[in-house]
A and B are shown apart, each in its own frame.
Chain A
Amino acid sequence: MSSALSKAKSPELEAKVQKLLERQKKNLSWVRLREKGIFLCLIGCGLFSLLITGSIIFVLTSETITFFRFEEVTLGNFLLSTEWTPLLGNTKSFGIWALISGTLLVTAIAMLLALPLGLVTAIYLSEYAPRRVRSTLKPILEILAGIPTVVYGFFALMTITPFLQWCYDGFNIYNAMSAGIAVGILCFPTVCSLAEDALQAVPSSLRDGAFGLGGTRFDATIKVILPAALSGIISAFLLAIARAIGETMIVALAAGSRAHVTINPGDEVQTMTGYMVQIAGGDVSNFGIEYYSMYAVAFTLFLITLSLTMIGNRIRKKYRETYD
């Protein structure tokens, strides 16, 4: 094109065009360089997230190994014992089951509340609710999801616990029930929005088919849509359980600090996260055995939640019913 131009016009113009072309060339090489540089930066960003995972695993593993190097600690005691008494001078015992059982009790109470309520609300939002109700309920759920956990902890300690004690005398000031209820309220929006996403992902042709066969909304929901969305719902449940297990501030405030195995919801329990907060917020000397026990507990917690998250995501991907 440049040659055509130069033929037609004066040499002045030709020089101008030549200049422009050269600048273009320079520009292009600079663009290519910039392109490469930016791409490298982006790769750096991406690799950073891998670095985070790597360092979580490295830190937790190495500090847990340091913990097991202490002569008071044995792996058998850690994995089998149900006594968790790290702060008792001479009779220290590190049996993780005491903390796991506390965590499981709180989580079970929370899930008993959050899973059915969340699923039913999700069904309502996805299948039944008129548009106007939907557009009011969803922001309310978002607000519930956005409230900081320390506020739920305050709520548990100041409102739920007195209410429980008013209902029945057997409740301790710190009890698993109150913490569990608060964790349940916290997880409810999570369950609800994830389950609703799963229900919404079911193509409406299935719904129409069920209606066309004369099914009521209930029939369509229970017999067609729920089975089709089952993988998403189960994964929502697993993610909610992982969230409940890792919840910290509510249990730190409301569940208490006595680590023991119990199934009595009115009793004081300590969870894994609660123990970590107790150590970090207390005056325990850095680099003592209690300090390192925090890492061992964190490692256990990380393994449990990571496997739940991974199983949940895998179920959602692998068993998703696909409709083309």
Chain B
Amino acid sequence: MSDIDSQDDSNMSADDAEKPSKDGHIGEQSVSGPGGTPKTSLLEARDPDAFDKPTLITTRSRLAKDFRFRVMCILTACASVLILVFLLGSILGAGIPTLSWTLLTGTPEPEPENAGMWPALMGTLWVCTMCALITLPLGIGTAILIEEFTPRNRIARQVLALIQLNITNLAGVPSVVYGILGLTAFVSMFSLFDNSDNADGPSMEVGAVYYDQFSNVASDPFIDTGDTEAEERYFLFPVETRDAPSTVPKTGMLAYENSEGGLKEVEIIAIDPFADDAPTDADALSRTIDSTSDPGRISEKQWYYLRLPFGRGVVAGALTLMLVILPVIIISTQESLRAVPGTLRAGALGLGATPWQVVWNVTLPSAIPGIMTGSILAMSRAIGETAPILIIAGIVYIRSAPQHLMDDYTVMPLQIYNWTSRPQEEFHNIAAGGIVILLAILLTFNAVAVLIRHRMQNKLN
């Protein structure tokens, strides 16, 4: 900072340095001239070039200075355009050749040529949709509270001022700090819900069914099935909770089997390989389970599956992004509410409307284009936000799109970061391809926002 200032100063002082030589000369002239009263000389002693020297030379040098500054300005502005062109050019140059259908719809395989970002794309969709659903009502509500309700007493006024100050400061908090907050508040929930017996799992969950999975004896090497061949089948026994004791299969029990039309009930036969013989009938054999084998505990989760603490799931990511973009949405909504002319409000109040009726029927409808523009821009920020997601989700290898609200996920910027930080050149290229996809989405968002704003301006005019 100080470096910059001194640089600016030195630029200016270099300009100033050539000025006094001319100015000093002219200053003498004017003092010795008839107009040189003691008063002007006093003023000139204070600031020699603040006042009139309307000679040709000075004007010309000042005009020259103005011209030089204008050229410098134009060059700087061109530089900013050049930077953008260079940035986009280098990324598009590397990214466009790698664009392919696989990149869009594939999974992040370890081989760069087969790798794609479908899970990341869906992750971004899930997280950002949830984030928007949570943040928009909260943010718009806060902005309405600050802008539209005049506090009646001193305490209310102070609370509103505090909220306003707080939002301004929240907007300056680095997003990585929000990631840290999300890690404690949403992922582990202050360790409030840790259960003593099983430290890994959640302590409370809704919407999950657990099964014990057995395979039939067809591929069991310890069982002599004779000549009978049977295809491999898997049977599921529902269990009460995640850590319930394993099911012991018995002949005649009903088990579920995954089939094309969903779960199907099947009667099973359980044998002890050391005591019993395997059935010789192919159908019976395919339904036979080794009763001494250990089942695998699998779970089926509904889309509304909920657990506490949230863990590294979609909800935790959405809530963390909510922290990041809430101040942005509040500030932009405030601005568009402020732009609504006060006469509209006064008119509605004069007709006997209550404060909320004014807000709902008058202010909000006129402010909605501005609010939408701000919200879309905030959402595009949420889509591009990497650091907080990286902090709470870590770099995990995700092969499928999220299936429920607590599912593990990755987002597009995180996938790009992952690919960029690998040493192989090929991954850098597909990272560039990923960036092109990401930028295309963001540019669409921005274009929509600009379009809405443009339309609104036309309407107002």
CB distance from B394 to the nearest CB of A (A): 6
In the complex, what distance in Å separates the CA atom of A151 from the CA atom of B184? 28
CB distance from A144 to the nearest CB of B (A): 6
A-B contact sample (19 more), CB < 8 A, given A60-B181, A144-B80: A42-B142, A45-B141, A46-B141, A46-B145, A46-B159, A48-B138, A49-B170, A50-B166, A52-B323, A55-B185, A59-B184, A108-B3, A116-B4, A153-B417, A154-B435, A157-B420, A218-B69, A248-B390, A276-B176
Residues of chain A with a CB closer than 8 A to B184's CB:
59, 63
Instruction: Assess whether B65 is in contact with A216, with CB atoms less than 8 Å apart.
Output: yes
Residues of chain A with a CB closer than 8 A to B175's CB:
246, 248
Residues of chain B with a CB closer than 8 A to A42's CB:
141-142, 144-145, 149
Instruction: Assess whether A216 is in contact with B76, with CB atoms less than 8 Å apart.
Output: no
B431 at the A interface (CB under 8 A): yes
Question: Given known contacts A147-B439, A150-B420, A294-B180, is B387 in contact with A249 (CB within 8 Å)?
Answer: yes
Instruction: Assess whether A273 is in contact with B176, with CB atoms less than 8 Å apart.
Output: yes
Instruction: Assess whether A39 is in contact with B65, with CB atoms less than 8 Å apart.
Output: no
Question: Which residue of chain A has its CB nearest to the CB of B62?
Answer: A216
In the complex, what distance in Å separates the CA atom of A159 from the CA atom of B159? 49
Identify the A interface with B (CB < 8 A): 31-32, 34-35, 38-39, 41-50, 52-53, 55-56, 59-60, 63, 108, 111-112, 115-117, 119-121, 123-125, 128-129, 133, 137, 139-144, 146-155, 157-159, 185, 188, 192, 214, 216-219, 221-223, 237, 239, 241-243, 245-249, 252-253, 273, 276-277, 280-281, 294-295, 298, 301-302, 305-306, 308-310, 312-313
CB distance from A123 to the nearest CB of B (A): 6
Identify the B interface with A (CB < 8 A): 1, 3-4, 7-8, 12, 50, 52, 54, 62-63, 65-66, 69-70, 72-74, 76-77, 79-81, 83-84, 86-87, 90-91, 94, 137-139, 141-142, 144-146, 149, 159-160, 162-163, 165-181, 183-185, 190, 323, 326-327, 330, 354-357, 377, 380-381, 383-387, 390-392, 394-395, 413, 416-417, 420-421, 428, 431-432, 435, 438-439, 442-443, 446, 450
In the complex, what distance in Å separates the CA atom of A218 from the CA atom of B16? 13
Instruction: Assess whether A117 is in contact with B84, with CB atoms less than 8 Å apart.
Output: no
9 A-B pairs, CB-CB below 8 angstroms?
A35-B355, A41-B141, A46-B145, A55-B181, A154-B420, A246-B173, A249-B390, A273-B174, A305-B174
Instruction: Assess whether A241 is in contact with B1, with CB atoms less than 8 Å apart.
Output: yes
Contact among A35, A56, A137, A253 for B421, CB-based, below 8 A: A253
Residues of chain B with a CB closer than 8 A to A115's CB:
1, 4
In the complex, what distance in Å separates the CA atom of A236 from the CA atom of B69? 22
Residues of chain A with a CB closer than 8 A to B142's CB:
42, 45-46, 48-49
In the complex, what distance in Å separates the CA atom of A282 from the CA atom of B138? 34
In the complex, what distance in Å separates the CA atom of A253 from the CA atom of B390? 13
Instruction: Assess whether B438 is in contact with A151, with CB atoms less than 8 Å apart.
Output: yes
In the complex, what distance in Å separates the CA atom of A115 from the CA atom of B235? 67
CB distance from A39 to the nearest CB of B (A): 7
Contact among B4, B72, B80, B94 for A111, CB-based, below 8 A: B4
Question: Which residue of chain B has its CB nearest to the CB of A109?
Answer: B3
CB distance from B409 to the nearest CB of A (A): 16
Question: Given known contacts A45-B142, A249-B417, A313-B168, is B177 in contact with A302 (CB within 8 Å)?
Answer: yes
Instruction: Assess whether B62 is in contact with A301, with CB atoms less than 8 Å apart.
Output: no
Question: Which residue of chain A has its CB nearest to the CB of B162?
Answer: A50
Instruction: Assess whether A149 is in contact with B177, with CB atoms less than 8 Å apart.
Output: no
Instruction: Assess whether A53 is in contact with B174, with CB atoms less than 8 Å apart.
Output: no
Instruction: Assess whether A50 is in contact with B163, with CB atoms less than 8 Å apart.
Output: yes
Residues of chain A with a CB closer than 8 A to B323's CB:
52
Question: Given known contacts A42-B144, A158-B94, is B330 in contact with A49 (CB within 8 Å)?
Answer: yes
Residues of chain B with a CB closer than 8 A to A38's CB:
356
Instruction: Assess whether A246 is in contact with B177, with CB atoms less than 8 Å apart.
Output: yes
Instruction: Assess whether A146 is in contact with B446, with CB atoms less than 8 Å apart.
Output: yes
Residues of chain A with a CB closer than 8 A to B435's CB:
150-151, 154
Question: Given known contacts A55-B181, A143-B84, is B91 in contact with A281 (CB within 8 Å)?
Answer: no
Contact among A129, A143, A243, A280 for B446, CB-based, below 8 A: A143
Contact among B87, B167, B173 for A305, CB-based, below 8 A: B173
Instruction: Assess whether B442 is in contact with A148, with CB atoms less than 8 Å apart.
Output: yes
Question: Given known contacts A117-B80, A188-B80, A276-B180, is B172 in contact with A218 (CB within 8 Å)?
Answer: no
Residues of chain B with a CB closer than 8 A to A59's CB:
180-181, 184-185, 190
CB distance from A21 to the nearest CB of B (A): 16
Instruction: Assess whether A53 is in contact with B169, with CB atoms less than 8 Å apart.
Output: yes
Contact among A128, A143, A148 for B73, CB-based, below 8 A: A128
Contact among B50, B138, B171, B383 for A45, CB-based, below 8 A: B138
Instruction: Assess whether B442 is in contact with A53, with CB atoms less than 8 Å apart.
Output: no
Instruction: Assess whether B384 is in contact with A129, with CB atoms less than 8 Å apart.
Output: no
Interface centre among A49, A242, A313 (most CB of B within 10 A): A49
Instruction: Assess whether B394 is in contact with A46, with CB atoms less than 8 Å apart.
Output: no
Contact among A34, A123, A243, A246 for B176, CB-based, below 8 A: A246
Instruction: Assess whether B80 is in contact with A141, with CB atoms less than 8 Å apart.
Output: yes
Instruction: Assess whether A237 is in contact with B76, with CB atoms less than 8 Å apart.
Output: no
In the complex, what distance in Å separates the CA atom of A157 from the CA atom of B417? 11
CB distance from B402 to the nearest CB of A (A): 20
Question: Given known contacts A49-B167, A276-B180, is B91 in contact with A217 (CB within 8 Å)?
Answer: no
Contact among A46, A188, A192, A247 for B163, CB-based, below 8 A: A46
Nearest first, the 6 closest Cβ-Cβ pairs linking A and B are: A246-B174, A148-B384, A309-B172, A45-B141, A124-B73, A248-B387
Instruction: Assess whether B420 is in contact with A153, with CB atoms less than 8 Å apart.
Output: yes
Residues of chain A with a CB closer than 8 A to B141's CB:
41-42, 44-46
Question: Which residue of chain B has its CB nearest to the CB of A151?
Answer: B435
Instruction: Assess whether B354 is in contact with A35, with CB atoms less than 8 Å apart.
Output: yes
Instruction: Assess whether A150 is in contact with B421, with CB atoms less than 8 Å apart.
Output: no
Question: Which residue of chain A has its CB nearest to the CB of B418?
Answer: A281
CB distance from B327 to the nearest CB of A (A): 8
In the complex, what distance in Å separates the CA atom of A45 from the CA atom of B387? 26
Residues of chain B with a CB closer than 8 A to A159's CB:
86-87, 90
Residues of chain B with a CB closer than 8 A to A246's CB:
173-177
CB distance from A143 to the nearest CB of B (A): 7
CB distance from A78 to the nearest CB of B (A): 17
Residues of chain A with a CB closer than 8 A to B177's CB:
56, 60, 246, 298, 301-302, 305
Instruction: Assess whether A216 is in contact with B66, with CB atoms less than 8 Å apart.
Output: yes
Residues of chain B with a CB closer than 8 A to A60's CB:
177, 180-181
Question: Which residue of chain A has its CB nearest to the CB of B413?
Answer: A150
Question: Given known contacts A41-B141, A46-B146, A246-B177, is B169 in contact with A310 (CB within 8 Å)?
Answer: yes
Instruction: Assess whether A280 is in contact with B394, with CB atoms less than 8 Å apart.
Output: yes
In the complex, what distance in Å separates the CA atom of A159 from the CA atom of B190? 42
CB distance from B373 to the nearest CB of A (A): 11
Residues of chain B with a CB closer than 8 A to A252's CB:
387, 390, 417, 421
CB distance from B150 to the nearest CB of A (A): 12
CB distance from B438 to the nearest CB of A (A): 7
Question: Which residue of chain B has its CB nearest to the CB of A219?
Answer: B62
